[in-house]
Amino acid sequence: MVQVKVSEGVLEGELVENEYGGTFYSFKGIPFAQPPTGDLRFKAPQPPKPWQGVRSAKEFGPICYQFSYTNHTLDNMSEDCLYLNVYSPDIKPTPPIPVMVWIHGGGFIWGSGNDDLYGPEYLITHDVVLVTLNYRLEALGFLCLDTPDIPGNAGVKDQVAALRWIKKNISNFGGDSENITIFGESAGAGSVACHLISPMSRGLFKRVICQSGAATCFWSRAFEPRERALLLARQLGFLSEDDQELYHFFKTLPVESLVNLKLQITMSQKSHDRIYFTVVDEKDFGNERFFFGDIVDAVKTGTHKGVDIMTGYTQHEGLMALAISDAEEEIITSAKCYRDFFTPKHIQTHCPMIDHFKAARLIRKFYFKGEDMTADHLDQLIKFLGTDMFAHGVMLTAKLNSKSNTVYFYKFSCTSERNCFSSFFGVGHLNKEKSMVCHADDLAYLFPIKVLSEKVHKNSKTFKLINRVTTLWTNFAKYGNPTPDNSLEVKWNPFTAEEQDYLEIGNELKPGKSPDKEEMECWNDVFREILPKFCA
């Protein structure tokens, strides 16, 4: 047992044996804000209240009430969910230790900072402090009525509250408050990318890692958020559009009504869109706003200067899109039947219908060379979905950020028995022989992931991959450079819009230029002609 004093009182954690070497100190379930319940539902998080005596930090706090697509037996869920966990190799080091703060993904719908997926055992062997956290999800975290009572962005304001608490208290756990890296995957990466342009987050971190997500991915920002809230109200049987009546309705709903939502936002909504509530352009009501304005303009001019950035995507991101469509056959049928299925989402949102078909014709010509979409073209369909959802936005943001910040770009293609997420997402049958690297497969090389049954032996080829990936990530957190020496026998050069240096992180490390060059050039040409704002 070990005790640490923080701003609210004394915490008692424990010293844990790490099966991958050494020991670490564990502090779980630390409140970083008041419970966002009752009148605080949908509101910005409030500072945590102090406690008397010693508070036990040996159990995880409740996670946000949710429906998980990968674990239908979740328990310990509550609206009272604003807790974080700190893992440190040394609570009294000299000098203090670099800090890595993990923001989990899950489509802003599910997930937590708990160790079922995000345990510290791999990363902490590299002498970093790891912090994981919870935040409000789905409608609880991102409902927006464009009113003072429900202005939106509560979930990312939760993340800001956690980062402020970490900045203030992490030195008590041995962490360096001047060397904090925030990192995340998917919706976590979208969150991290938005912190990079948020006025609320300025000065709270030194570096960021965005894995398979960016501020310019279409799902990172909610289009017409009030309309989404009104649609949800109507779907739940409430027809009034009066602001106060709506607020009372949403505030008093049972929490079960605000999770596992299925909304048809528009008649033409694509079947692979399932993120309804996310970051919004927040109206000014005299309080702190997490984000406001145009997202591309913000990335161009509002990116926090001097923050180092690492970003990239996995080799077959689009495999997941077939899973979240609810019906794999449905999405394939739509791709066969509807020409405008291949309209990039940003063009679908911002441009008239005539441009939808123009863009779709250009995109289909690139992927299918004039042939009809059939089951034999599934690989090409997966490539399109992955670029629409992830790769185009990640590349666009990297190009824009590289004009003012140091950026390291990667493409992740490791394959081993750790590549498990296609099975988690229910599309493993598509991946039996092709060794696709699915969205989120990179997570298994950073975290133990308890649901994987097989333990990784330290002398195995797989553990060498894990050690290589965690070395790259922690080197970046420590030094702002993933390859500061020749220990990995590779030099990873910074990315620029002109040269587009990147690192292929596969079973071998291979430097290269212009990842997926022809595909990215096609998309860039389409956007340059139809929607230049999303072209770089």
* Residues marked as catalytic: 186, 317
SS3 412: strand
Full DSSP string of 191-247:
HHHHHTT-GGGTTS-SEEEEES--TTSGGGB-SSHHHHHHHHHHHTT-----HHHHH
Task: Compute the chain's Rg from CA coordinates.
Answer: 22
Torsion of CA 501, 403, 187, 20, to 10 degrees: 50
* Cα(477)–Cα(179) distance, integer angstroms: 8
* Cα(493)–Cα(483) distance, integer angstroms: 9
* Cα(444)–Cα(414) distance, integer angstroms: 10
* Cα(507)–Cα(505) distance, integer angstroms: 7
Q: Is 176 in contact with 127 (CB distance < 8 Å)? A: no
**Which one, of 115, 111, 84, 112, lies nearest residue 99 by Cα?**
84
Residues 383-419 as b/e (b if ≥16 CB within 10 A, e otherwise) read bbbbbbbbbbbbbbbbbbbbeebbbbbbbbbbebebb
Cβ count near 171 (within 10 Å): 17
Full DSSP string of 88-108:
ES-SS-SSPEEEEEEE--STT
**Which one, of 395, 343, 403, lies nearest residue 531 by Cα?**
343
Residue 402 identity (one-letter amino acid): S
Contacts of 205 (CB under 8 A, 6+ apart): 101, 163, 180, 181, 182, 195, 307
CA 156 to centroid of chain Cα atoms? 11
Q: Is 13 in contact with 58 (CB distance < 8 Å)? A: yes
Full DSSP string of 123-137:
GGGGS-EEEEE----
CA 268 to centroid of chain Cα atoms? 26
* Cα(37)–Cα(62) distance, integer angstroms: 13
How many CA atoms are closer than 13 Å to the CA of 205, on its beta-carbon side? 35
